[in-house]
Amino acid sequence: MKYLIVGLGNIGDDYVGTRHNIGFEVVESLGKKFGGEWKSVKHGSLCEVSHKGRKLLLLKPNTYMNLSGKAVSFWMQAEKIKLENVVIITDDLALPVAKLRLKSKGSDGGHNGLKSIQASLSTTNYARLRFGIGSEFSQGRQVDFVLGKFTTEERSSIDIAIDRAVEGTLQYCTLGAGFAMNYTNT
């Protein structure tokens, strides 16, 4: 059984470690857990790992956030991965820092990466793991905030939440959405 686990973010040194790239951090941590190696592929970087008889394709799209759907759609088709075997990991301003929310479907919540995926797949019925990045910014400063880095104080809770996101994603792939949501959303 194959799964496509997509961490959303933007490529380039300017974006490394930013709030907007937390999806990349989660899939990188997942790949590292299994000693996977990343390779440059069409529309991104891919790392293939195995867990309990499942093949997990970890993807970091290089299409930038606003065109994430192009990479997701391409790799679903190329690897013949069913919609129910796709998990999108993304940042979320509406959640407090390090709060996780896994859902099997839902709206884009105003997130451009999710809007792009919805447009490419013509559905909102795909799993998404939203990773809270907080919303402590003044009016008109949202872009600076999401493209900024976590504070030193936030970083320790972020690292713990990344580990939890990795485990929740693995549970989604092995035990199903219900178990994974119970674990992740607690």
Q: Which positions are catalytic? A: 20
Contact 77, 120 (CB under 8 A): no
Pairing verdict, β 100-103 and 127-132: antiparallel
Question: Rounded CA gap, 142 and 170, in Å?
Answer: 32
Residue 130 CB contacts under 8 Å (≥ 6 apart), including other chains: 90, 91, 92, 94, 95, 100, 101, 102, 103, 109
